[in-house]
Amino acid sequence: MTREYVYKRFERFWHWMQALLIIFLGFTGFEIHGSIHFFGFEQAVKLHNVAAIAFLVLIIFAVFWHITTGEWRQYLPTRKNLRAQMEYYIFGIFRNAPHPTKKTVLSKLNPLQKIVYAGLKVIVIPLMVMSGLVYMFYRYPQRYEVISLNIAGLKVVATLHTLGAFLLVCFFIAHLYLITTGTTITSNLKAMLTGYEDLPDDESEKSNSLMMEQL
Ligand code: HEM
């Protein structure tokens, strides 16, 4: 094993800020929905709106970072090893089988992660942002008598926004479990906190030589 710098500083900051904001948006959102009672409805709406703006700012920086560093390529879905990865999570993991996909600096995600994360970035997060913004500003056209969305139309928006919130809750639960399935129970968590992770030698050498080639 070789210690590699896998997650850069901004990447870790973005990951943890995104996690905090999504948890907070989920918490306040489900209070708005009526599922829990903590801040009180009005306060929950105010806090949800502030966190949503912070989330939007973070998304703008994250999109810029992914494009300028080329890291967006990490999420390009692939069918290579997809079946092996599924079989690993269903059977292999319980028999102590080796991970079918070796993590490298240039390829951090396994094929299942690529699909799920790409789906989050391309479908679920944009759905939340767009439905959330419509939800937030639907009143303004009416106030200035430009009625482009009436209150009846908001039902669809609210349903889509809530559906996205449930998908994020499902993702969060699966994510918590999968964090523990690295080389050791805490290796994935430590890597996202410190940036460093022990990767198998052959693969790290390969990624180093690939990086040298790219330079
Ligand atoms: C930029 C992103 C987001 C924006 C702009 C946004 C905006 C909003 C707004 C304006 C409301 C309605 C508040 C009101 O009744 O006045 C709302 C409700 C809600 N939000 Fe968000 N939100 C965002 C992200 C999220 C995320 C990430 C989650 C979940 C993890 C979430 C979960 C909810 C839920 C569950 C409701 C209640 C829906 C209902 O019962 O109708 N939101 N959001």
Q: What is the mean pLDDT of the chain?
A: 90
Share of the chain above pLDDT 70, in %: 87
Residue 215 is predicted with a pLDDT of: 45
* Extents of the domains making up the chain: 7-214
Residue 163 is predicted with a pLDDT of: 98
5, β-bridge pairs: 196
Nearest to 168 by CA among 61, 31, 64, 29: 29
List pLDDT tens digits, range 124-176: 999 999 999 998 887 655 555 656 566 667 889 999 999 999 999 999 999 99
Residue 161 in contact with ligand 1 by CB distance below 6 A = yes
List pLDDT tens digits, range 29-53: 999 999 999 999 999 999 999 999 9
CATH classification number, 7-214, choose in 1.20.950.20, 1.10.579.10, 1.20.1630.10, 1.10.3710.10: 1.20.950.20
pTM: 0.88
Residue 138 is predicted with a pLDDT of: 78
Residue 154 is predicted with a pLDDT of: 85
Residue to probe by mutation, ligand 1, list 18, 38, 135, most atoms within 8 Å of CB: 135
Q: How far is the CA of 25 from the centre of ligand 1 (A)?
A: 7
Residue-wise DSSP of the chain? -EEEE-S-HHHHHHHHHHHHHHHHHHHHHHHHHTS--SS-HHHHHHHHHHHHHHHHHHHHHHHHHHHHHSGGGGG----TTHHHHHHHHHTGGGGTPPPSS---SS--S-HHHHHHHHHIIIIIHHHHHHHHHHHHHTHHHHHTT--SS-TTTHHHHHHHHHHHHHHHHHHHHHHHHHHTTSSSTTHHHHHHHHSEEEE-HHHHHHHHHHHHHH-
Give the nearest ligand 1 atom to 56 CA.
Answer: 1
Q: Whose CA is nearest to atom 25 of ligand 1?
A: 25
Residue 22 in contact with ligand 1 by CB distance below 6 A = yes
